[in-house]
Amino acid sequence: MTDVAGQNVGFIGLGLMGKPMARNLMRAGAITTVHNRSQGVVKELVAEGMHAGGSPAGTAVAAQTVIMMLSDTPAVEGVMRGDDGVLAGMQPGTLVIDMGTTKVPVTRALAAEVEAKGGVYVDAPVSGGTIGAEGGTLTIMAGGAYEAFQRAEPYLQILGGRITHVGPVGTGQVAKAANQVIVGLNIGAVAEALALAKRAGADPARVREALKGGFADSRILEVHGQRMIDHAFTPGAKATTQRKDMDQAIELAAELGLVMPATALSRDLYDKLIESGGADLDHAALIKAIDPDA
C-alpha cells in the first residue's frame, strides 16, 4: 500500500459530496487537481491550494489516481469518453475510481476501456450522504481486482469509515443497488407502520420507541422514522435520487430475468410522491404517498 501524501490525485465532480471529499484528500497531503462542470467551486478549491485540471483529460494527465463523484451514469460516460475525457488524457498505470452510483454494465465496459489504456479501475460507490462525505465516514462498497482495490484502499480510507471489497469490477455497484433497494423498501415499511399507528390512536413516537432493539429495528427506523414523526423532510437524500437508484436496480434485475415486485411498487409510490410535488424532499417523505395526514 502506498500512502496518499505527495501522490497526484485528480478529482472530478465537486458537488455536495465531491467537494468535501476532495478537501479530505488535500488535507491528507495529496497533490489534488480538480475539475467540475461549473467553475465557481473549482476557483474556491484552487484558492485553498488545489490545482485546476481544466478538463477531465487535463485532470487525468498527471494523476496517478483519478476519482469521480458524479451525479449519474450519463455524466460518468461523458467524463470518461468525451473528446477531453479521462480516457483521452490518462497515462498507462493510472488508477480510476468511480465513487458515484453508476449502472453495472457501463461500469464493466468502462473498466475494460481503462484496462485497454493500461490502467486499472475500481467502482466504489458510497452510502452516508453529505455528513459522511464531510466527516470522512462514508460506507464504501468496492468492486475491482484485488490488486486494484489495494491501490485504491489508502484513498478510500481517507474518504470513508467502513470499506468493503465486495468482489470483481461492478460488484461495488451491485452492492450499492442492493443498498438502495433495502433503503427504499425499509422507508416504505416504516411509513406504513407509523401511518397505521397514528390512525389507530397510538403515538408514533412511542411506537418507534417500543420497536427499538427488536426485529423491526433498523437505521431507517432510527433516522427516517424520526424524520417522519417530525415532518422534517429537508434532504438528506432526495426522493428523485432514491427513485432513480431503485429504477436502476429494477433495470439491472430485468436484464438478469429477475422480477423485484416490492421494489417496483416502491418506485411507483416514489413516482406518486414526486408527481405531487415531493421531488426535492428527503426520501423519508414517502409517508406522504401512503397517508397525507400521517
Distance separating alpha carbons of residues 173 and 108, to the nearest angstrom = 10
| SS3 state of residue 66 | strand
Q: Is 192 in the site for its own copies (CB under 8 A)?
A: yes
Q: Is 186 in the site for its own copies (CB under 8 A)?
A: yes
CA-based diameter of the chain, in Å? 65
Single out the residue of 116, 215, 234, 292 in contact with its own copies (rule: CB under 8 A). 215
Q: Is 17 in the site for its own copies (CB under 8 A)?
A: no
Q: Is 275 in the site for its own copies (CB under 8 A)?
A: no
Which one-letter DSSP state was computed for residue 21? H
CB of 266 to its own copies, least distance (A): 7
Q: Write out the binding residues for its own copies, residues 127-146 only, by CB under 8 A.
A: 127-128, 139, 141, 143
- The residue count for binding its own copies (CB under 8 A) is 72
Q: Is 242 in the site for its own copies (CB under 8 A)?
A: no
Active site residue 288: no
CB of 88 to its own copies, least distance (A): 30
Contact characters 29-68, its own copies, x per CB under 8 A: ----------------------------------------
Contact between residue 11 and residue 46 where contact means Cβ atoms under 8 Å apart: no
| H or E, element range at 177 | helix 171-199
- Determine the length of the chain: 294
H helical segments located in 50-128: 56-60, 73-81, 86-89, 104-116
**Residues with catalytic function:** 176
